[in-house]
Chains A and B, each alone.
Chain A
Amino acid sequence: MIAVLCLTLPLLAGAASPGEPGAWTAREAEHLLNRAGFGARPAEIAYAVRRGREAFVQELLDGYPEDVESFFFDPPTPPKEQYTDGMSEERKREIRVQFKRDDRDELGHFASWWIGQMLDGPYPLRERMTLFWHGYFTSSYREVKLGGAMIRQNELFRAHALGSFRELLDEVIRDPAMVLYLDNDKNRKGNPNENLARELMELFTLGEGHYTEEDVKEAARALTGFTARYDSGVTFRPGRHDNGRKVVLGVSGRLDGDDLLDILLDQEQCPRWLAGRLLRYFEGREPSAQRLDAYASLLREADYEVRPFLEHLFSDPEFYSDEIVGRRIASPLDYLIGSSRRLGVQPPPRLVWLAAGQLGERLFDPPNVKGWEGGPAWITTSSMLQRGNLAGMLLGVVRLEDVVRPEPPVEDADPDGEMSMTAAEADTDPARMKKKDLGADMFDMRRMLSEFYWPGIHLTARLQRADVRGDAAIVDFLCDELLAVEVSDAGRAALAEFLVAERADLGLDDDELLGAGPEAEHVLRRLAHVILSLPEAQLL
């Protein structure tokens, strides 16, 4: 540990530069809460500033795990245990179909539970790291087809979220969902399957270019017999294991899976790989070679413990530099959960799960073995528009039917080319949109929105409490509360113009808006909708 101290002291020495030790700004505190948690409420920022950085980072790392209500997993009985002698094939098929439905529903409940933890749980950093591992060690329900196995894997990530990468890796190669996802149940002596061996090197420990095809073949032999069934608990079948000599990355012997992990973890490249992935995730950009070296050393010296790595990162002045703060593209969950927290609304977790899925981040369904690409890959033409629409729904100023509305007749298009809403469109009868018209997810989302959600915020009162008056001040206040990135002066001016025009309609003077009751609230929510649709709202 002496080596760690020698390494970290010079880095830490610069950390306390702004004034006394532990002092930090609201902007820095907000940044930490955005990246290490899921967005900051104003009161949380104030608390973090009061507490001081050092103490607050410790609180964040510790969390309040004893306050987390665990998920109760009620496993459906496997079909084979339900079969009886002489049961018809028809009946057996019904049992299988019912099992599949129950198993999938259980995973849906778990997704809601998890998103609930992100929205309002007592240990946000652990959920953030669980999400990181879910994208790092991907498995997909689409392939695994066992919700129970996906839940178990997620609990594994949670248990090791800030712990030892060495231990986590050790568990992952025996994890039923991973074994199924990467076909290691088919990896046996004499008939090896390279899938797990390859991803272990390419995605989990080293990265491409740091091993040969021959290493993959040999590693696959070392992993023969490592299987996992989530119902029986069997993790190794000696009869399937290839006991012969292998050579992996220059090390030879009668290697098995545990030997293989030791070899991989001993590589200079391994801590560099993991440090790079962690830095890119939390900082949103490629680290410099020097920075990567420093953090790789830290990880190696700490024997792959993740907590000291994070503690160091969250205390590192460079983490709070202008090149990093507000320059990461928010993932759909970052956007939806962060917006909800900043607004103070409490959407049903299932709604957030479905909405994030519409935007490309559906938990338990990563796009491929590499997980979510993140960054610019979140941006598509429709996802940018839909993010704004979803913010409008959270604010209660956009209905799903406003987005999914039929086109007006051609002659209603304005001559200048803009489509404007017509009376006929506004009258769209929601009851006419059936499941087959909306699609299952949208249909479910509409149900969530109409039956289980109302915004439950009072922006007018919030502004009055803060004693904010006048168009410009209202715009400044809401931009500051709702966004992590500053809006340009021109942008603020355009938003203030919106208030001017709205006030003119209502016949109110500059400082009279907040006294206008429900009409004022409606104006403010529409303004918030525009703010959350801006490019600046997509960054944190």
Chain B
Amino acid sequence: MNRFPHIDRRELLRAGAAFAGWCALPAGALASPILGDDRHSLLILQLEGGNDGLDTVIPYGDDAYHAARPTLARAREDVLALDDYRGLHPELTRLRDEYEAGRLAIVEGVGYPDPIRSHFRSMDVWHAADRRGRQLPEGWVGRLCAARFADRTDPELVVHVGNEVPYSLHSATHPPTSFVRSRSYRWAGDSREVRAYEEAAPAPQAERSTEAAGDGTDPLDLVRRALADGQASSDAIRRATAAYETPVAYPAGPFGEALREVAGIANGDVGSRIFSVTLSGFDTHTDEDQRRRSLLRVLDEGLGAFLEDQRRTAVGRELVVMAFSEFGRRLVENGARGTDHGTAAPMLVAGAAVQGGLYGEHPSLTELEDQELRFTVDFRSVYATLVADWFGADAKRVLGAEYPRLPLV
């Protein structure tokens, strides 16, 4: 429970700084009253384009796999074997280490009934946690925030690092802070312009509401609030990422950089609890092996570094990563050494707090539905687990129905 429901971020920082200076408290004594009882947080990793599940957790011990993929199938010596049936893609060495150490859960055969093959609409189903997709007014994370963080009014609660904010974060009451690079999350002006701007655009008088903005809201007040939130979170977020120091080397490139931003904010007492990052390029209709090798190397290096980094800190040990894709790919490869849009695929859940291992059931490669893999776990079971067991919120309220939970955390 939040004991300081309406604290202004700047005031808190100012008060904190003054107080710390006066009393000379040890570092950490003022740690984040905003965070409440626990610091559980979540990074949602979106693998965009349809990640080939059969080339992530590879059923190398299944004859049907080799028969369906004459040019793409990987032999036992080429995979990172987990047991006699399955192995990880050869590039996923860091994730294999996480699995061996019991910090990576692999949920096999994840999907949903009557699967949609359109990237866009299937992604909507995952984002809304509902067949109706965007016909629902909020995404599942928005609904989670309304259920779990009703008392949080600061803009930094949900942070998306990237261009397009996923619909899962869509919320009337807890809109995300979003930016591509924290370094550009700013209003660019010199110090005198900034002063004029802040004095001429005062923060709104009214308390920030946790209710959805209705028709009665003064539009000028709405804009003032968003600008004030932007200015406030811009400072806090840039300060956190600029101040973040870690011995862990993140790989170069947008994905590694985005994960480093998340690490900086998560460990920077900003109060963020839900993070979102997207890695795209998984739509491998052609020359899949070559493309997936480089893509999974990016995933493994970035995520591996991130997980290693999080293990170092108390905050990081309470951060869980959940990776998903809108669908897997077809069992049978196409004529262009690639695969087309398919159905079920594994989800990954990782972190120091995660009970590693295999969950669900690998989909059968012979008992198919419309020639495709039949899902064995509804993705909302994973959501329900995180909503209820990780965030302590009412999963039925958030997801609209009961789903069996898995002992992941």
Contacts and interface: CB of A to CB of B under 8 A. Distances in A.
Nearest to B190: A421
B130 to A, nearest CB: 14
Contact of B178 (A380, A410, A418, A498): A380
A379 B175 CA distance: 10
A436 interface: yes
A538 B225 CA distance: 12
B197 A93 contact: no
B192 A502 contact: yes
Contacts of B227: 384-385, 535
A89 B167 CA distance: 38
Contacts of A498: 192-193, 195-196
A495 interface: yes
A139 interface: no
Q: How large is the interface on A (under 10, 10 to 19, 20 to 34, 35 or more residues)?
A: 35 or more
Interface string A214-249: 000000000000000000000000000000000000
Interface residues of B, number: 66
B200 A491 contact: yes
Contacts of B254: 436
A381 B239 contact: no
B199 interface: yes
Contacts of A341: none
Contact of B201 (A419, A491, A526, A539): A491
B220 A389 contact: no
Nearest to B178: A382
A418 B189 contact: no
Nearest to A389: B188
A381 B189 contact: no
A345 interface: no
B235 interface: yes
Given A329-B223, A413-B242, A539-B220, A403 B186 contact: yes
A288 to B, nearest CB: 11
Interface string B54-92: 000000000000000000000000000000000000000
Nearest to A399: B188
A59 interface: no
Given A93-B286, A419-B239, A388 B213 contact: no
A485 interface: yes
Interface string B190-217: 1111111101111000000000010101
Contacts of A491: 199-202
Nearest to B242: A407
A9 to B, nearest CB: 30
Contacts of A385: 185-187, 227, 230-231, 234
A403 B239 CA distance: 15
A120 interface: no
A300 interface: no
B120 A535 contact: no
B179 interface: yes
Contacts of A408: 242
A328 B223 CA distance: 11
B248 interface: no
B223 A526 contact: no
B220 A535 contact: yes
A495 B185 CA distance: 24
Interface in A393-443: 398, 402-410, 413, 417-421, 436, 439
Given A93-B286, A385-B185, A369 B134 contact: yes
B16 to A, nearest CB: 10
A498 B155 CA distance: 29
A490 interface: yes
Contacts of A327: 219-220
Interface in A75-106: 89, 93
Nearest to B243: A410
B397 interface: no
A413 B239 contact: yes
B229 interface: yes
A485 B235 contact: no
Contacts, number: 165
Quick one: which of A385, A392, A403 has the most chain B CB within 10 A? A385
Contacts of B217: 376
A402 B193 CA distance: 14
Contacts of B134: 367-370
Nearest to A404: B184
Contacts of B229: 381
A370 B196 CA distance: 39
A462 interface: no
A536 interface: yes
Given A329-B223, A380-B226, A502-B192, A533 B187 contact: yes
A89 B196 CA distance: 63
B183 interface: yes
B120 A382 contact: no
A519 interface: no
B219 to A, nearest CB: 5
Nearest to B165: A380
Contact of B183 (A328, A379, A405): A405
B181 interface: yes
A72 to B, nearest CB: 31
B181 A420 contact: no
B189 A526 contact: yes
B177 interface: yes
B226 A384 contact: yes
A385 B186 CA distance: 6
Contacts of A156: none
Contact of A419 (B179, B202, B222, B238): B238
B368 interface: no
A57 B148 CA distance: 52
A407 B120 CA distance: 35
A407 B177 contact: no
Given A379-B223, A380-B226, A382-B179, A418 B197 contact: no
Interface string A471-502: 00000000000000101001110110110011
A280 to B, nearest CB: 10
Nearest to B179: A382
Contacts of A406: 183
B178 A534 contact: no
B199 A382 contact: no
Contacts of B179: 382
B252 to A, nearest CB: 10
B222 A329 contact: yes
A529 B197 CA distance: 9
A381 B201 contact: no
Given A329-B219, A439-B180, A381 B197 contact: no
Given A143-B120, A526-B189, 15 more contacts: A93-B336, A284-B219, A327-B220, A368-B134, A375-B219, A376-B222, A382-B178, A402-B188, A405-B183, A413-B239, A490-B199, A491-B200, A492-B200, A498-B192, A529-B193
21 contacts: A329-B222, A368-B133, A375-B219, A379-B222, A380-B165, A380-B176, A380-B226, A381-B233, A382-B230, A392-B189, A407-B182, A407-B241, A410-B242, A417-B13, A418-B194, A418-B235, A487-B200, A490-B199, A502-B192, A535-B227, A539-B219
Interface of B: 13-14, 17, 118, 120, 124, 133-134, 155, 163, 165, 167, 175-197, 199-202, 213, 215, 217, 219-220, 222-224, 226-227, 229-231, 233-235, 238-239, 241-243, 245, 253-254, 286, 335-336
- 9 tightest A-B CB contacts, nearest first: A494-B199, A498-B196, A407-B242, A381-B230, A494-B200, A491-B200, A535-B223, A404-B184, A402-B188
